[in-house]
Structure 1
Amino acid sequence: MSRKPNILLITSDQQHWNTIGAFQPEIKTPNLDRLVKEGTTFTRAYCPNPTCTPTRSSLITGQYPSQHGAWTLGTKLSEKVHTVGEDFQKAGYETALIGKAHFQPLASTEKYPSLEAYPLLQDLDFWRQFDESYYGFKHVELTRNHTNEAHAGQHYALWLEEKGCTDWRNYFLPPTGTMDPQQVHKWAIPEEYHYDTWIAERTNALLEQYQSTDQPFFIWASFFDPHPPYLVPEPWDTMYNPNQLTLPKLQQGEHAANPPHFRLAQEEKPDFSSYRESGFGMHGFRSHLHNEEELRKDIAVYYAMTSLMDKYIGRILDKLDQLGLAKDTLVVFTSDHGHLFGHHGLIAKGPFHYEDLIRVPMIVRYPGHVPEGRVSASMQSLVDYAPTLLSYAGLPIPSSMTGKDQREVWNGRQEAARDHILCENHHEPTTIHLKTYVNERYKLTIYYNHSYGELFDLEEDPEEVRNLWDESEHEALKSKLLLRYAWAELGKEPTWMPRIANA
């Protein structure tokens, strides 16, 4: 490899795997479609945890949440944990993160002190002067809000004021702002002040800076959409007709054989109090009953949020072309986890490890290396990203990283680097603690201290409506998969020998 490649990681937040226009005609994503045409799409990519902090920490550590320690929301990734950005910096790379980090919680505690917490979150003087390396990223520009959430602040708020948007608080909820909480779907913020615009503009400014100094770079452009709340500025709010979209639905009786929290979620006033232990928020443990007409409107806006984000992903791709950087830049697009918007009667993430939630969209482009227009079913995990990116740069892969080096798979020279996926969800110390094992055909989910679980045949039952866990004729299969799951857990352990990437 004559020149170390530049690396551009682009992520969305909570994007369902089937929301790329090249494969799903109900949504328009021309720039992601462009990546599909110019690179390889991986149709079986998975997150290591279906919530933000654990998976985002896995992206930069190459470790599972049970290894890096940021096991749920409300915890944090320790600053002592080794990250891929440190390796890139030592190799002479510029490293930067623009957008969402979420390595630390919104509430700072003695156990988990946080820079991303109130009130520091909105101390603009602090962020104006902030120039420290953050988890291996030499340069960061951050915010924490999804659409109109009150968490707006940090570098995004500074940018808004620099752009002349001095009344920016009007577009966010109290106590930060004055926006009416009853306003839904259409966000009054002008597109020129939307955080998609900010992320693209600031990412492009860094591309220009790094191109001028001829330094290799690792940039993470971390978008916030299409994570709810469902809000988008005009004219995007009317881009999709809710009545022309396919509405995912619950099939009658499909939760009869599932663990009890699936059925509770279909009650009007479910009692989940027995699951509460730590005081951390329990995602998804509420009623998921919904009005179909309102859900259609939500989906229309969810798609619009994706399409708006796609526009600004295009701005970044165009800048790579304009600067002559595209041929030397490995571009990877993915999301931190999926989303449930009516699938199986569910409308939010939680301990529901359906493909809709744990699978993610994934596209890789690197001209002359990664095959163009290819679609691969090779199994991918976001925990593999750190070692794989180091491999492309010809850098040693630390023994602490337990993800797989997928470079030969991304380059199309190898069929697979892994034969299974592990997805963890440790949202409470004992009551919400589950792990999922997925191989080419089957999916197995086990729960700590419980004899119930899930077993799906993804080949015969791709919609995951028939749980085979308690069916006597599948006892032998369940035993075999439980053993394979145990082997997979053993295989997660570090080898304690540094791996050398092939240059």
Structure 2
Amino acid sequence: MSRRPNILLITSDQQHWNTIGAFQPEISTPNLDRLARQGTTFDRAYCPNPTCTPSRASIITGQYPSQHGAWTLGTKLLEDRHTVGESFQDAGYRTALVGKAHFQPLKSTEDYPSVEAYPILQDLEYWRNFHGPFYGFDHVELARNHTNEAHVGQHYALWLEEQGCAHWREYFLPPTGTMDPTQTYTWPIPEKYHYNTWIAERTNSLLEQYKKADDPFFMWASFFDPHPEYLVPEPWDSMYDPEQLTIPSLTPGEHDRNPPHFRLTQEEDPDFSHLAETGFGIHGYRSHHYYEYGSKSRLTEYDKKKLVAVYYGMISMMDKYIGSILDKLDELGLSEDTIVVFTTDHGHFFGQHGLQAKGGFHYEDLIKLPFIARYPGRLPAGKRTNAMQSLVDLAPTFLSFCNIPIPPAMTGIDQKDVWLGNADAARQHALCEFRHEPTTIHQKTYIEQRYKITVYYNQTYGELFDLEADPGELRNLWDDPGYEQLKAELLLKYIWAELGKEPMPMPRIHHA
């Protein structure tokens, strides 16, 4: 216990908060359950943005998207931003990322180059020779595809070829591959070639290297599942009987009090053109009666059930490979000196409120996260707490545990004392931003223990929910006359929160 701890961050992608078997009996996650028994589960953890790039950039910068600049999908984290990996490197740590980065977009321009973009994404000779540095990670092994997406390439494609899978393109969509886009739920890729296998294998290899060299490390094992498309290999695709699962659905009339875009999602052919500003896709602003992937067919009653079963199967399969990483820590004798955190970048809808996937709908389903931290002998084991967490807190908290100075520009909160059980809370609220177009889709949500409020740029509508009386968020109180005083108080608290998160790049050092 005398040496500084290692840090192992394990993340899933787009995982609903209530999908850990220890707390939800309809799903099996024995390895995440193990982590929960051995560590502390935080039941009120939130993302700073419910989409991938902004939230992931917040993890490594300790800043909100409105501060680090990667404000939506299709943007990138500018290379001049300080990252937590750079602080670890300065302190003598090895730093690595295996799996999904998504710090950059799929398109590159002269002004904003991206190595996660076509065509370099699939230039395997480039990736054979490139392993970093990349945003503070001295070693990276990357992929860019969720399940069978055509974006497959980078180090994952190289690994597939090294494994003898010469026909790997058969498992991915055109134009890269030849898989039929109408095929869903069962992914024909053998489990030994699945990216879960790759991530666990490569993470464990790096753990062995660091152990042999006796190097301290900050490592991120970044899984892609259960982000749709809903595809998983056998037998995981049939692990759950859809008829035995609780299937979320729309409550009639629940969107009557909500902003207009909620109601539009329940129409057959809604018109969101008034929100389209940049000409790029606006995630979630569509009819949610249709499957968002593959052939985009209309969801039948069977589909609404089956996709939940496959989503759970994806999580259970991922859990197996998370277990192999935890086992490797034990095997190498690293568990006692390694802080392990499991979480995700944001949540997911699989029928809640009549919604699918994600978008500008700040329900708890989308912005609240599974979040477990383990540090044997230091963090309380088997504990659950409502102490609020945000992904922006990870960077400063990791640095604090390792006695590395926290850069003053980081606006996340050091949660060390809360994690250790020495303090009840370090923050009284969380903030979630969603700016998907420059002006037309721009909203922020303030969440405290009981209430949450969402405001929209240049709009008089909003949302106010009482999470204690209405945990399912079915009754929007924004326009309720009986809650005018509460709304005013929450709006003031939101303003205070915005003022409170302004960065201070340096301390004040003199009176003038």
Q: Same fold (TM over 0.5)?
A: yes
SS at 1:445 equivalent: strand
Shift of 1:249: 1.1
Which residue type is aligned with residue 253 of structure 2? G
- Residue of 394, 397, 411 corresponding to 1:385: 394
- Residue of 328, 331, 334 corresponding to 2:340: 331
Aligned residue number for residue 37 of structure 1: 37
- Residue of 463, 466, 471 corresponding to 2:472: 463
RMSD: 1.0
Q: 1:190 to 1:498 in 2, by over 3 A?
A: farther
Contact 1:242 1:299 in 2 (8 A): yes
- Structure 1 window deviating more from structure 2 (60-69 vs 280-289): it is 280-289
- Residue of 451, 456, 461 corresponding to 1:452: 461
Contact 2:284 2:357 in 1 (8 A): yes
Cα distance in 1, alignment partners of residues 138 and 280 from structure 2: 31
Cα distance in 2, alignment partners of residues 496 and 127 from structure 1: 35
- Residue of 487, 491, 508 corresponding to 1:482: 491
Shift of 1:111: 3.9
- Structure 1 window deviating more from structure 2 (282-291 vs 17-26): it is 282-291
TM-score normalised by structure 1 residue count: 0.98
SS at 1:118 equivalent: coil
SS at 1:36 equivalent: helix
Shift of 1:438: 0.3
Cα distance in 1, alignment partners of residues 135 and 196 from structure 2: 23
Structure 1 runs (4+) deviating above 6 angstroms are none
Cα distance in 1, alignment partners of residues 102 and 281 from structure 2: 15
**Residues 339-350 of structure 1: matches in 2 within 5 Å?**
339-350=348-359
Contact 2:150 2:175 in 1 (8 A): yes
**Residues 337-486 of structure 1: matches in 2 within 5 Å?**
337-486=346-495
Shift of 1:280: 2.7
Post-superposition Cα deviations, 1:142-181, rounded to whole Å, max 9, x if no partner, equal 0100000000000000000000001100100000000111
Which residue type is aligned with residue 325 of structure 2? I
Aligned residue number for residue 328 of structure 2: 319
Cα distance in 1, alignment partners of residues 507 and 338 from structure 2: 26
Cα distance in 2, alignment partners of residues 322 and 336 from structure 1: 29
% same residue: 72
Which residue type is aligned with residue 139 of structure 2? H
SS at 2:261 equivalent: helix
Aligned residue number for residue 265 of structure 2: 265
Shift of 1:291: 2.5
Aligned residue number for residue 306 of structure 1: 315
Post-superposition Cα deviations, 1:459-498, rounded to whole Å, max 9, x if no partner, equal 1000000000001111110000000000000001123446
**Unpaired runs of 5+ in structure 2?**
290-298
Aligned residue number for residue 503 of structure 2: 494
Shift of 1:414: 0.5
SS at 2:327 equivalent: helix
Contact 2:131 2:141 in 1 (8 A): no
TM-score normalised by structure 2 residue count: 0.97
Cα distance in 1, alignment partners of residues 272 and 482 from structure 2: 32
Cα distance in 1, alignment partners of residues 507 and 145 from structure 2: 38
Aligned residue number for residue 293 of structure 2: none
Shift of 1:107: 1.0
Which residue type is aligned with residue 440 of structure 2? T
Shift of 1:2: 2.3
Which residue type is aligned with residue 162 of structure 1? E
Which residue type is aligned with residue 499 of structure 2? L
Cα distance in 2, alignment partners of residues 325 and 199 from structure 1: 19
Aligned residue number for residue 140 of structure 2: 140
Aligned residue number for residue 189 of structure 2: 189
Aligned residue number for residue 199 of structure 1: 199
Which residue type is aligned with residue 82 of structure 1? H
Which residue type is aligned with residue 366 of structure 1? Y
Aligned residue number for residue 16 of structure 1: 16
**Unpaired runs of 5+ in structure 1?**
none
Cα distance in 1, alignment partners of residues 505 and 344 from structure 2: 30
Cα distance in 2, alignment partners of residues 126 and 113 from structure 1: 15
Across the two proteins, how many residue pairs are aligned to each other? 499
Shift of 1:108: 1.0
Cα distance in 1, alignment partners of residues 42 and 301 from structure 2: 32
Post-superposition Cα deviations, 1:303-326, rounded to whole Å, max 9, x if no partner, equal 000000000000000000000000
Which residue type is aligned with residue 62 of structure 1? G
SS at 2:116 equivalent: coil
Does residue 177 in structure 1 map to residue 177 in structure 2?
Answer: yes
Post-superposition Cα deviations, 1:259-285, rounded to whole Å, max 9, x if no partner, equal 000000000000000100012320100
Aligned residue number for residue 26 of structure 2: 26
SS at 1:136 equivalent: coil
Does residue 150 in structure 1 map to residue 150 in structure 2?
Answer: yes
Post-superposition Cα deviations, 1:87-122, rounded to whole Å, max 9, x if no partner, equal 000101000000000000001123421010000000
